[in-house]
């Protein structure tokens, strides 16, 4: 290891400098006595982290100062939060106890730091309970949202300074960030932080694409700035003439959102038209806000033709996270669509800083969507789902989705996620209404429970006292609330049936002269391969197990002991053994990069040259995914302990399946030209080819076998030279 040489005096100067910068950031919210509080927290943190250093070699205190600065500057939090941010790691990492904190800073600060310490298990690389920890973190919403906001600031700073971490830790932390923290930031309305978290996460999970898009953006920067200038000047002029005070500028979209668009639409970078958005931020009096926004809208659409399908009015109905803005897409002077976002200074502050800004303006907007959301989170959490991972999936879907607005028969407005059904609506109003729902009237027309609602529908629920929740309801409801209510009703029902099964089994064992005790029940459960004794009882009641099977059990009882030894770990070492006998040359797996058997995951079809990792599955051995696979983040965030390193070695003989999406102008013989390049020139095998042609536009999907990424890129280059082809992209999956 390299010896660390530090100039302590220079370092101490730098610490003071950073502290003063923090104080400047806090200034807008400082009241009498606040400065002393922050100073006290700083002194305590400095003292207790004295001998600690970060992975980069820097003094540890840089981290809490930076977290406090993010809390103040980028989230807009006040003194209590700044003090807590400064002390967020002391109880966890130093000798300071919660009692010490309470003595110096009082109850409020102590409660928040306690919350921060409790949820820090999320960072524990050995913990396989991330989902459960995440639920704990959300539970703290009920105590104090500041815990979550400071945790986000902490995560943001860790993501900004992750270069010194080992690669596998980077991957895991980055995945967790895109899977849990970014959606949470989104839901809390922290758009700037959400975008930065997504970009930073992509920088580590998909470095090549990240660098590629960053480079492309940089190349076209001057051209883009010229375009924005020409687009914006006439708008400014007319706003000025009409006496509307506003700031008009162009804002680049995040790398991650550009990549998302490329992937979703299968288009190359060059075809993403909205690389930036135009923002009009109006300096408006509270009573004129809405009118001023529409005035600006009218000015913009007088100058440029709007796309009527792309008007979004979140001024009249704000999003659940508090976001207010008017979005329109207009045709720019060069025939290019441009998104324009119109909002007031107040709305903009909420858009950038989310919850904290909301708090500040709360008086004028007391019935905020965010309050409703926090209320809803508490409601869902108070009915905990035994499987934390299921809960997390349901919950995350709700974090991501956009809302629709549905009216009750009396005209009250209910917010639901996009794709919500009539049954979701029923559960949203009351769990009893959901449980007894047999149908609904949507806009006075009778529809089934699974009917998907549209924005603005008016819904009346029809119930029956004979109705009970059904298993298949879970296939179409989308809200976390409906899911958790249905699951707990089904569980209750199952428990009741299992009780009956238990009695039946007791009688049967008696007649077979087997003692009814825990040991034998456990053996039986194992023998029939059920996950729990309750499952065993349930299946007895349902008749899945009959006397004949029980006799089988009696006969095989002696062999059971041996079967139990089959555990997960020996399962893996078995795999290693199996492979060492074969001669694989292509992929090295694990910390010591051994040759182990593996399969390539069909969800992203990795080929040699791709950045990949291995995932230990329960039944199918090790599966290889690309680090930018759509499922990767979820796997790494939830099952970090099952991730193994994987690396390609060079090889030329084997062929790997991948897909190409080709777009072009239809021309007789285009298909022939494509297949000629692929089969004749490159001698690549085609597995399948799907072509469609619509009004002169040619679209084709081709599944081919290639050796590695270099081979694939070379092929794409040659295909691009065929006249008529306008775009070629690789796609992830063949299903």
- Where do contacts with Mn ion occur on this chain (CB under 5 A)? 89, 154
Contact 629, 604 (CB under 8 A): yes
Q: Name the residue whose CB lies closest to Mn ion.
A: 154
Q: Which is nearer to Mn ion, 80 or 383 (CB)?
A: 80
- Helical axes 191-205 vs 207-219, angle rounded to 10°: 120
The two counts, helices (H) then strands (E), for the chain are: 30, 19
Rounded-to-integer distance, Cα 336 and Cα 233, Å: 17
Cβ at position 520, least distance to Mn ion in Å: 51
> In angstroms, rounded to a whole number, what is the distance separating the alpha carbons of residues 347 and 296?
15
Closest approach, Cβ 154 to Mn ion, in A, equals 4
Nearer to Mn ion, 89 or 394 (CB): 89
CB 478 within 8 A of CB 402: no
Task: Pick the catalytic residue from 73, 93, 104, 390.
Answer: 93
What are the strands, taking DSSP E only, across 264-421? 276-282, 312-313, 326-331, 337-344, 403-407, 413-417
Q: How far is the CB of 88 from Mn ion (least distance, A)?
A: 6
User: Quick one: 154 or 292, whose CB is closer to Mn ion?
Assistant: 154
Q: How far apart are CA 428 and CA 480, in angstroms?
A: 10
Active site residue 114: no
Euclidean distance between CA atoms 417 and 319, whole angstroms? 11
Phi-psi region of 669 (alpha: psi -120 to 50; beta: other; left: phi over 0): left
- Is 93 labeled as catalytic in the residue annotation? yes
Contact between 255 and 220 under an 8 Å Cβ cutoff? The reply is no
Nearer to Mn ion, 64 or 621 (CB): 64
Give the H or E element holding residue 86.
Answer: helix 79-86
The span from the CA of 46 to the CA of 68, in Å, is 13
User: Which residue lies nearer to Mn ion by CB, 154 or 597?
Assistant: 154
**Least distance (Å) between residue 30 CB and Mn ion:** 24
Q: Closest CB to Mn ion among 154 and 176?
A: 154
Q: One of 73, 92, 132, 699 is an active-site residue; which one?
A: 92
Pairing of strands 622-626, 599-600: parallel
* Nearest CB to Mn ion, comparing residues 89 and 198: 89
**Shortest gap between Cβ of 193 and Mn ion (angstroms)?**
16
| Between 94 and 329, CB nearer to Mn ion | 94
DSSP-assigned letter for residue 594: B
- The nearest distance, CB 571 to Mn ion, in angstroms, is 37
Contacts of 65 (CB under 8 A, 6+ apart): 15, 18, 19, 22, 42, 86
CB of 81 to Mn ion, least distance (A): 14
The closest alpha carbon to 23, from 75, 103, 86, 87, belongs to: 86
Any alpha helices (H) in 339-455, and if so which ranges? Answer: 345-353, 355-360, 369-381, 388-400, 422-429, 431-435
Q: Tell me how far, at minimum, the Cβ of 195 lies from Mn ion, in Å.
A: 21
CA-closest candidate to residue 345, choices 281, 279, 251, 296: 281
Report, as residue numbers or ranges, the catalytic residues: 92-93
């Amino acid at each position: 290891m390299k010896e660390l040489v530090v100039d302590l005096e220079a370092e101490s100067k730098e610490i003071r400098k950073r502290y003063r910068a923090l104080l400047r950031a806090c200034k807008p919210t400082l009241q009498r006595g606040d400065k002393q509080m922050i100073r006290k927290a700083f002194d305590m943190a400095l003292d207790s982290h004295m001998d600690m250093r970060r992975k980069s070699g820097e003094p540890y205190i840089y981290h809490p100062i930076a977290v406090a600065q993010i809390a103040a500057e980028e989230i807009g939090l006040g003194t209590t939060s700044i003090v807590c941010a400064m002390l967020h790691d002391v109880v966890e990492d130093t000798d300071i106890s919660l009692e010490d904190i309470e003595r110096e800073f009082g109850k409020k600060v102590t409660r928040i730091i306690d919350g921060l310490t409790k949820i820090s298990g999320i960072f524990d690389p050995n913990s396989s309970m991330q989902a459960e920890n995440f639920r704990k973190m959300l539970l703290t919403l009920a105590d104090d949202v500041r815990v979550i906001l400071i945790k986000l600031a902490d995560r943001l700073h860790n993501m900004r300074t992750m270069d010194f971490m080992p690669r596998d830790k980077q991957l895991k932390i980055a995945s967790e960030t895109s899977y849990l923290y970014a959606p949470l930031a989104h839901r809390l309305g922290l758009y700037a932080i959400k975008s930065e978290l997504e970009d930073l996460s992509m920088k580590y999970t998909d470095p090549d694409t990240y660098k590629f898009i960053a480079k492309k953006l940089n190349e076209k920067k001057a051209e883009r700035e010229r375009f924005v200038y020409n687009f914006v000047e006439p708008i400014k002029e007319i706003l000025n003439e009409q006496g509307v005070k506003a700031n008009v500028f162009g804002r680049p979209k995040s790398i991650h959102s550009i990549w998302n668009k490329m992937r979703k639409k299968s288009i190359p970078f060059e075809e993403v038209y909205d690389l930036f958005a135009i923002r009009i931020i109006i300096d408006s009096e509270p009573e004129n806000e809405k009118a001023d926004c529409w005035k600006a809208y009218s000015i913009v659409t007088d100058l440029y033709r709007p796309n009527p399908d792309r008007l979004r009015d979140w001024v009249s109905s704000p999003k659940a996270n508090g976001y207010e803005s008017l979005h329109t897409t207009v045709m720019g002077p060069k025939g290019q669509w441009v998104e324009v976002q119109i909002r007031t200074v107040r709305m903009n502050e909420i858009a950038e800083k989310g919850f904290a800004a909301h708090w500040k303006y709360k008086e004028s907007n007391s019935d905020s969507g965010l309050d409703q959301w926090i209320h809803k989170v508490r409601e869902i959490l108070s009915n905990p789902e035994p499987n934390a991972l299921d809960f997390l999936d349901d919950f995350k879907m709700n974090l991501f989705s956009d809302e629709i607005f549905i009216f009750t028969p009396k005209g009250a407005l209910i917010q639901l996620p996009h794709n919500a059904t009539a049954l979701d609506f029923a559960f949203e109003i009351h769990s009893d209404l959901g449980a007894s729902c047999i149908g609904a009237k949507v806009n006075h027309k009778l529809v089934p429970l699974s009917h998907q609602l549209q924005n603005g529908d008016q819904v009346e629920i029809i119930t029956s006292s004979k109705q009970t929740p059904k298993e298949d309801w879970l296939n179409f409801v989308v809200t976390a609330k409906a899911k958790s209510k249905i699951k707990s009703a089904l569980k209750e029902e199952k428990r009741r049936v299992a009780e009956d099964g238990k009695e039946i089994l007791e009688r049967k064992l008696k007649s077979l002269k087997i003692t009814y005790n825990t040991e034998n029940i456990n053996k039986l459960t194992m023998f029939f391969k059920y996950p729990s004794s309750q499952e065993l009882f349930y299946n007895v009641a349902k008749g899945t197990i009959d006397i004949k099977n029980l006799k089988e059990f009696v006969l095989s009882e002696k062999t059971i002991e041996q079967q139990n030894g089959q555990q997960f770990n020996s399962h893996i070492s078995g795999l290693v053994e199996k492979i060492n006998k074969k001669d694989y040359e292509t992929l090295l797996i694990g910390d010591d990069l051994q040759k182990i058997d593996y399969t390539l995951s069909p969800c992203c079809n990795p080929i040699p040259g791709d950045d990949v990792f291995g995932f230990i599955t329960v039944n199918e051995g090790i599966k290889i995914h690309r680090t930018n696979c759509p499922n990767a983040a979820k796997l790494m965030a939830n099952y970090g302990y099952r991730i193994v390193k994987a690396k390609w070695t060079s090889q030329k003989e084997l062929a790997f399946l991948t897909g190409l999406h080709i777009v072009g102008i239809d021309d007789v013989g285009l298909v022939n030209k494509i297949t000629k390049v692929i089969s004749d020139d490159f001698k690549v095998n085609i597995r399948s080819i799907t072509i469609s042609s619509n009004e002169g536009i040619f679209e084709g999907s081709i599944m081919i076998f290639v050796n590695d990424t270099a081979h694939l890129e070379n092929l794409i280059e040659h295909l691009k030279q065929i006249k008529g082809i306008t775009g070629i992209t690789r796609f992830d999956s063949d299903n």
